[in-house]
């Protein structure tokens, strides 16, 4: 019997892609909101302070969320598609529901 071979797995295959510690889509939304706040509302000290506060607090929370689960926003968006309540199954004598085909019909 020979010794088992060790094959290293490159870290890019299991490490999530993050921008500044948060998910890329979340960082893009954060930066877009801060830029819109500064340049859309007006270039004033109050809007600059609000944008800096927004970027530090919201980004800090999003970094914490990314540490918990690096795909939390995708999970949240997927959960929005699910219904809150599913009707119970029919009884023994109930009609069989129509089956939706997995593949579209050929044209």
Instruction: Decide if 75 contacts 81 (C-beta within 8 A).
Output: no
- pLDDT of amino acid 30: 93
Sign of CA dihedral 93, 97, 98, 103: negative
One digit per residue, pLDDT tens: the chain, 107 residues? 667 778 888 888 888 888 989 999 999 999 999 999 999 988 899 999 999 999 999 999 999 999 999 888 888 888 888 878 777 766 677 777 788 888 888 77
Instruction: Decide if 63 contacts 26 (C-beta within 8 A).
Output: no
pTM of the model: 0.65
How far apart (Å, rounded) are the C-alpha atoms in residues 27 and 57? 13
Instruction: Decide if 59 contacts 30 (C-beta within 8 A).
Output: yes
């Amino acid at each position: 019997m020979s010794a088992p071979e060790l094959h290293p797995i490159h870290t890019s295959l299991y490490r999530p892609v993050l921008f500044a510690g948060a998910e890329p889509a979340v960082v893009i939304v954060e930066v877009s909101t801060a830029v819109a706040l500064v340049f859309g509302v007006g270039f004033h000290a109050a809007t600059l302070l609000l944008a800096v506060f927004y970027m530090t607090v919201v980004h800090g929370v999003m970094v914490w969320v990314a540490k918990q689960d690096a795909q939390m926003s995708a999970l949240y968006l997927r959960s929005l598609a699910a219904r809150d309540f599913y009707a119970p199954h029919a009884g023994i004598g109930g009609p069989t529901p129509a089956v939706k085909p997995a593949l579209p019909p050929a044209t």
